């Protein structure tokens, strides 16, 4: 029987910016089709990990394997949806243009979109219910609409691995459920997903595995194995309040400044 390599294999990597180390000796393996919540306090290294997994940040030590091959060997294998604050929404580009960017790994930046590219983009817009917004500038959209655009771009990319950085922050319940529904559909297609979130209850109830970080790997496994009081105190320190009636409560100081600002905008 032939051994199937993990979809994603992170081997003792060190990540940082110059001499400032953000994550060290990080080691974990994610099987095909798993849905993983990446959890930790602000500044723990969640976004840094995602940037490394998509090739935006060089690895200082260790290695990352996808399907048993070095990162970068697979063409356009990983789709990445950053936090909304990381995107310049003033850039003069339409919704359809953004979704078409998901096809560039297949067709190339300088190639004209093929008939199949256009069909996939149209289907992606329809799946996220934003066909009517195709000609609108992304800067004119609401936060929830912008998220739908980036989800449509990820669908159009046809990735093996999807990374989403804080997709549930600053969106309403309808958008959260639409995102979770899409994740269910992608999981049926055996797409591996890593989603960072500050919502520990959502992570515990809607994800297969939890990756708990704070500059190192605190714990990795099923929610009931990871979300112990000891592990949470290691990750969040005294900002951890209590676990009451199965609910995990974390002090607001664990949330990012960006999360606070988004919450204020939503009110």
The reported pLDDT for the residue numbered 84 is 74
Q: Cα 149 to the chain's mean position, in Å? A: 15
What was the pLDDT predicted at 115? 92
CATH code, residues 1-74+161-182+193-267: 3.40.50.300
Nearest-angstrom CA–CA distance, 179 and 139: 21
Q: Indicate the DSSP class of residue 137.
A: B
pLDDT of 106: 64
| pLDDT (0 to 100) of residue 47 | 94
- The pLDDT score that the predictor gives to residue 219 is 97
Per-residue pLDDT, averaged over 247-251, amounts to 53
Euclidean distance between CA atoms 107 and 109, whole angstroms = 7
What does pTM read for this prediction? 0.83
In angstroms, the first-to-last Cα distance of the chain is 56
- The pLDDT tens digits of the residues spanning 149-202 come to 999 999 999 989 999 999 988 788 888 888 898 899 888 889 999 999 988 999
Q: Choose between 120 and 77: higher pLDDT.
A: 120
Interatomic CA distance for residues 44 and 243, integer angstroms: 21
Q: In the structure, what pLDDT confidence band is assigned to residue 137 with cuts at 50, 70 and 90?
A: very high
Q: Is the pLDDT of residue 266 over 50?
A: no
In which residue ranges of the chain is CATH 3.40.50.300 found?
1-74+161-182+193-267
Closest Cα to residue 154, out of 90, 101, 112, 86? Answer: 101
Q: What is the pLDDT of residues 10-59, one digit of tens each?
A: 999 999 998 999 999 999 999 989 999 999 998 999 999 999 999 899 99
Query: Which residues, including other chains, have CB under 8 Å from residue 1's CB and lie 6 or more apart?
Result: none
């Amino acid at each position: 029987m032939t051994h199937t390599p993990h979809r994603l294999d992170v081997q003792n990597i060190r990540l940082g910016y110059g001499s400032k180390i953000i994550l060290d000796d990080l080691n974990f393996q994610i099987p095909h089709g798993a849905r993983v919540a990446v959890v930790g306090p602000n500044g723990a290294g969640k976004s840094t990990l995602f940037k490394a997994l998509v090739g935006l940040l060089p690895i200082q030590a260790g290695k990352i394997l996808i399907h048993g091959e070095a990162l970068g060997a697979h063409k356009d294998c990983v789709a990445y949806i950053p936090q909304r604050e990381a995107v310049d929404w003033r850039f003069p580009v339409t919704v359809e243009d953004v979704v078409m960017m998901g096809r560039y790994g297949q067709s190339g930046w300088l190639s004209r979109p093929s008939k199949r590219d256009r069909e996939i983009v149209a289907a992606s817009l329809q799946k996220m219910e934003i066909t009517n917004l195709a000609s609108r500038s992304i800067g004119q959209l609401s936060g929830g609409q912008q998220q739908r655009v980036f989800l449509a771009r990820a669908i159009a990319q046809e990735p093996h691995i999807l990374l989403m950085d804080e997709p549930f922050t600053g969106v309403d319940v309808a958008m959260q459920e639409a995102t979770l529904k899409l994740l269910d559909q992608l999981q049926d297609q055996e797409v591996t997903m890593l989603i960072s979130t500050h919502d520990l209850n959502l992570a515990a109830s809607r994800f297969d595995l939890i990756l708990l970080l704070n500059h190192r790997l605190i714990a990795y496994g099923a929610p009931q194995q990871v979300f112990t009081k000891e592990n949470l105190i290691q990750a969040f320190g005294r900002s951890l309040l209590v676990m009451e009636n199965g609910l995990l409560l974390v002090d607001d100081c664990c949330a990012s400044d960006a999360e606070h600002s988004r919450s204020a905008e939503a009110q």
